Amino acid sequence: MQVIRKKAWALPDSTATDETIYRSRRTLLKGLGAGTMLLAGSALPARAASDPTADLYPVQRNLRYRLDRPITDEKHATTYNNFFEFGSHKGIAKEAQALKLRPWEVRIDGMVEKEMTVGFDDLIRRMPLEERVYRHRCVEAWSMAVPWSGFALKALVDFAKPLGSAKYLRMETQADPDTMPGLIQTWYPWPYTEGLTLAEATNELAFIATGLYGKPIPKQSGAPLRLAVPWKYGFKSLKSIVRFHFTDERPVSFWETLIGKEYGFWANVNPKVDHPRWSQATERVLGTNERVPTLLFNGYGEFVADLYKDMKGERLYM
Ligand code: MTE
């Protein structure tokens, strides 16, 4: 979708996306059998036609979450990716098509009433689906704004029934050496893992994305389910999740294991706390390449600032 703008990031959110145009485009694509079409501007096959969850989309947008900038063009958000399991560069979208999506089982274990393994297709149909437009700020200082579909992570936490003693949620990505060539790089601490406190995981913003741009989420973006925690740097939002582990120990993530001095547990966005090797004051907007100021908590302070108000000694912003 092409959004015409003058000063892109400063536009009011009402101009960010024309809902009517967006919806009618979705309907049109559905009517045309979008699954057999090619994604605009790329040579990647859309996977909607063969996806057993395709009938669930599009879902109703939750208007509580608003943007201060236009939605990023789909072709940019789905062809400029970080997914190290498929390579250490941005152009992994083609390689990621090797990701095997079915069967896809999700393990819920650790400090829960009853450990379980649930098929993704069962899980998603138990969850309250909605669409949310969120900003995404990568620690590398680029950003995008996209319409995720999915469900609040809190719904999954409630479904998992953690014990009162559980304090953290550790999540793990699929790690399949047969389809993920990046796993050959054995110096990386696979599988890709990330963690949140339970207070963060049950914050209303924490979201599990199963769809993007009104369709099942593409493989390169983290199919069939990924995290979206928009007040944190993008590396926290792990892709292609296979495990939710409830624990009382603070998880040490993939990046923290690798370079703990640069990538910590909290990783909340803050323009005033530079990465040791570059400034975090501004960000490059994907698609337009404009440079715009970065906002504290990526602009989501009203939802999350309270989570951190009594944590003076913590490295909250890296
Ligand atoms: N999840 C996995 N499994 N592997 C990764 O390499 N990269 C992270 C995050 N999730 C990554 C991941 C980083 S650094 C970013 S910025 C976002 O995914 C990028 O998401 P996108 O490709 O949809 O923009």
- Give the pLDDT score at 93: 98
Question: What pLDDT, in 10s, does the model give residues 178-206?
Answer: 999 999 999 999 999 999 999 999 999 99
Is residue 25 assigned to a domain?
A: yes
Question: What pLDDT, in 10s, does the model give residues 158-181?
Answer: 999 999 999 999 999 999 999 999
Distance of CA 8 to the CA centre of its chain: 23
Looking at ligand 1, which atom is closest to the CA of residue 144? 24
Does residue 268 register a pLDDT over 70? yes
Distance (angstroms) between ligand 1 centre and the Cα of 20 equals 30
- Give the pLDDT score at 47: 57
For ligand 1, say whether the CB of 233 is within 6 Å of any of its atoms: no
Least confident of 22-36, 117-131, 143-157: 22-36
- Give the pLDDT score at 23: 42
For ligand 1, say whether the CB of 138 is within 6 Å of any of its atoms: yes
Rounded average pLDDT over 231-237:
98
Arithmetic mean of pLDDT over the chain:
89
For ligand 1, say whether the CB of 81 is within 6 Å of any of its atoms: yes
Is residue 205 assigned to a domain?
A: yes
Q: Residues 6 or more apart from 196 whose CB is under 8 A from it?
A: 153, 168, 169, 171, 206, 229, 236
| Residue, of 33 and 97, whose pLDDT is higher | 97
Is residue 314 assigned to a domain?
A: no
Does residue 109 register a pLDDT over 60? yes
Is residue 1 assigned to a domain?
A: no
For ligand 1, say whether the CB of 149 is within 6 Å of any of its atoms: no
- Give the pLDDT score at 46: 54
Cα separations in angstroms, 82 against 44, 85, 111? 17, 9, 31
Does residue 144 register a pLDDT over 90? yes
Is residue 8 assigned to a domain?
A: no
User: Given the DSSP bridges, would you call strands 193-197 and 168-173 parallel, antiparallel or unpaired?
Assistant: antiparallel
- The amino acid at residue 61 is R
- Give the pLDDT score at 39: 36
Does residue 31 register a pLDDT over 80? no
Number of domain units in the chain:
1
- Give the pLDDT score at 50: 83
For ligand 1, say whether the CB of 191 is within 6 Å of any of its atoms: no
Is residue 119 assigned to a domain?
A: yes
For ligand 1, say whether the CB of 53 is within 6 Å of any of its atoms: no
For ligand 1, say whether the CB of 83 is within 6 Å of any of its atoms: yes
- Give the pLDDT score at 255: 98
Distance (angstroms) between ligand 1 centre and the Cα of 138 equals 9
Is residue 316 assigned to a domain?
A: no
Question: What pLDDT, in 10s, does the model give residues 3-21?
Answer: 333 333 333 333 344 333 3
Is residue 297 assigned to a domain?
A: yes
> Domain residues for 144?
13-308
Supply the DSSP string of the chain, one letter for each residue: -----SSGGGS-GGGT--HHHHHHHHHHHHHHTGGGSBPTTSSPBP-GGG-TTGGG-S--B-TTS--SSPPPPHHHHTTS---GGG-SSS--TTGGGG---SS-EEEEEESBSS-EEEEHHHHHHHS--EEEEEEEE-TTSEEEEEEEEEEEHHHHHHHH-B-TT--EEEEEE---TTT-GGGG-TTS-SSPEEEEEHHHHTSTT-EEEEEETTEEPPGGGTSS-EEE-TTB-GGGS-SSEEEEEEESS----HHHHH-TTTS-S--B--TTS-BTTB--SEEEETTT--EEE--GGGGTHHHHGGGGTT-TTS-TT-
3-state SS string for 178-212: CCCHHHHCCCCCCCCEEEEEHHHHCCCCCEEEEEE
Q: Compute the distance between CA of residue 270 and CA of residue 298 in angstroms, rounded to an integer.
A: 7
Looking at ligand 1, which atom is closest to the CA of residue 140? 16
For ligand 1, say whether the CB of 85 is within 6 Å of any of its atoms: yes
Question: What pLDDT, in 10s, does the model give residues 60-102?
Answer: 999 999 999 999 999 999 999 999 999 999 999 999 999 999 9
- Give the pLDDT score at 49: 60
Rounded average pLDDT over 15-39:
37
The confidence band for 280, taking pLDDT boundaries of 50, 70 and 90, is very high
| Residue, of 15 and 245, whose pLDDT is higher | 245
Distance (angstroms) between ligand 1 centre and the Cα of 239 equals 6
CATH of the domain at 105: 3.90.420.10
Does residue 32 register a pLDDT over 90? no
Distance (angstroms) between ligand 1 centre and the Cα of 161 equals 28
- Give the pLDDT score at 40: 37
Q: Tell me the whole-structure pTM to 2 decimals.
A: 0.88
Least confident of 20-34, 49-63, 248-262: 20-34
- Give the pLDDT score at 13: 37
Q: Compute the distance between CA of residue 210 and CA of residue 208 in angstroms, rounded to an integer.
A: 6
Report CA torsion sign: 69, 71, 76, 77: positive
